[in-house]
Amino acid sequence: MQNFWQDLPRPFFALAPMEAVTDVVFRHVVAAAGKPDIFFTEFTNAASYFSEKGIESTRGRLAFTADEQPMVAQIWGNNPEHFAFMAKGLATQGFAGIDINTGCPDKSVIKQGSGSALIGDYELTAKLIAAAKEGGLPVSVKTRLGKFKIDEYREWLKFLLEQDIVNLTIHLRTRKEMSKVPAHYELITDIVKLRDEVAPQTLITINGDIKDRKHGEKLAQQYGVDGIMIGRGIFSNPFAFAKNEPGSDCSGQASRRVSNGAPAPVETRAADCPSQPDPGSVDKRQELLKLLNLHLDLFDKYSPELEPRRFDPLKRFFKIYVRDFAGASELRERLMHTKSTDEVRQLIN
């Protein structure tokens, strides 16, 4: 079995799967701003995939392009037969891995016995993981600490680690806590110890409230975890994965501008070394609006190529790019009344 997980840098950085957010368009924008080491699709229902119209109904959320590797399909459901069918299909579609969602707190998902409803259901979860492995792709799991009490993590994570999975991502909160309390970093040491005892071959990725690469690197160094997953951090800083923190190879953006004016060496201009501007500067506004323009262009490109997309949901992304500069809220307000990507371009340009 080809297992890309072993070849990832340590720590590796993952963009969290986020429903209605991390589609093929937004993932490309994030990659241009600062590339994560691994991508996940939005979660995709195995029952839908299994249905007669499965390929059509799941096409949008499973769409990805060749440059987005390693790409992991995140799946949810509660039927092993669906999981086995989907796992085999995903392997032929070029995915590098499969991730099983056992953490979603959404009521409609729980009602279907899926997502975080699986926490504590050892028998079914074991069957689902085994079924997902039938596709031949490396299988990982994303979960929460427990349903109601943080102490549940000892039994639950131990059980998951016993299933011989390649990576376990833990959103460091219970389902009940939603995202309302700080992530429980105080448990990481114990979780890593548990992993070392039960399944030293399984990688541990932590998730919850991690702001950016610098923050993630600090946590990885402190706790010895393998991977860092960032979700909402990308909303307040689309450059969250960029490597150009002071002292790193990419720190030269500012000095490039003030030095002798010669172009920077090509390698420091790679996608993971974008020009991360100073907060509050004119540069920052330009860089953010450049990303918005890219988002619009990719929306127009992938909509006809991969899956038709409605314009209105695009508006929820505006606040990521139109922020932290004079006149931002006024511009955002006007953007909310637009009806096409061209109208948006006219306003921002």
Ligand X SMILES: Cc1cc2nc3c(=O)[nH]c(=O)nc-3n(C[C@H](O)[C@H](O)[C@H](O)COP(=O)(O)O)c2cc1C
Q: Which residues are catalytic?
A: 104
Q: How far is the CB of 320 from ligand X (least distance, A)?
A: 12
Piece of 101-109, 258-266, 290-298, 313-321 that binds ligand X (CB under 6 A): 101-109
Q: Is the peptide bond before 11 cis (omega within 30 degrees of 0)?
A: yes
Query: 5 or 43, CB closer to ligand X?
Result: 43
Verify binding: residue 165, ligand X, rule CB under 6 A.
Answer: no
Piece of 18-26, 148-156, 191-199, 275-283 that binds ligand X (CB under 6 A): 18-26
Query: 76 or 325, CB closer to ligand X?
Result: 76
Cα angle: 237, vertex 28, 273; to 5 degrees: 60
Question: Do strands 12-15 and 167-171 pair parallel, antiparallel, or not at all (unpaired)?
Answer: unpaired
Give the pair of three-digit tokens for residue 80.
């092993």
Element at 45 (helix H, strand E):
strand 44-45
- Side chain identity at 6, as an amino acid letter? Q
Pick out residues in 189-208 that bind ligand X (CB under 6 A). 207-208
Position of minimal CB gap to ligand X: 231
CA–CA distances in Å: residue 87 to residues 3, 131, 137: 15, 8, 8
Q: How far is the CB of 331 from ligand X (least distance, A)?
A: 23
Q: Which of 8, 18, 130, 294 binds ligand X (CB under 6 A)?
A: 18
Verify binding: residue 210, ligand X, rule CB under 6 A.
Answer: yes
Q: How far is the CB of 90 from ligand X (least distance, A)?
A: 16
CA–CA distances in Å: residue 65 to residues 93, 272, 342: 11, 18, 24
Pick out residues in 222-281 that bind ligand X (CB under 6 A). 230-233
Piece of 14-22, 130-138, 212-220, 303-311 that binds ligand X (CB under 6 A): 14-22
Verify binding: residue 171, ligand X, rule CB under 6 A.
Answer: yes
The C-alpha atoms of residue 224 and residue 203 are separated, in whole angstroms, by 11
Give the pair of three-digit tokens for residue 331.
């511009």
Number of residues that bind ligand X (CB under 6 A): 21
Query: 193 or 316, CB closer to ligand X?
Result: 316
Residue 341 backbone phi and psi in degrees, to 5: -65, -35
Alpha helices in 148-281 (DSSP H): 153-161, 188-198, 213-223, 233-236, 252-258
Q: Which of 17, 80, 238, 274 binds ligand X (CB under 6 A)?
A: 17
x/- map, 69-98, ligand X, by CB under 6 A: -----x------------------------
Which residue from 62, 65, 70 is spatially nearest to 43, judged by alpha carbons?
62
Q: How many Cα atoms are found within 13 Å in the side-chain-facing hemisphere of 346? A: 8
Q: Which of 19, 152, 217, 307 binds ligand X (CB under 6 A)?
A: 19
The C-alpha atoms of residue 210 and residue 147 are separated, in whole angstroms, by 22
- What residues line the site for ligand X (CB under 6 A)? 16-19, 21, 42-43, 74, 101, 103-104, 142, 171, 207-210, 230-233
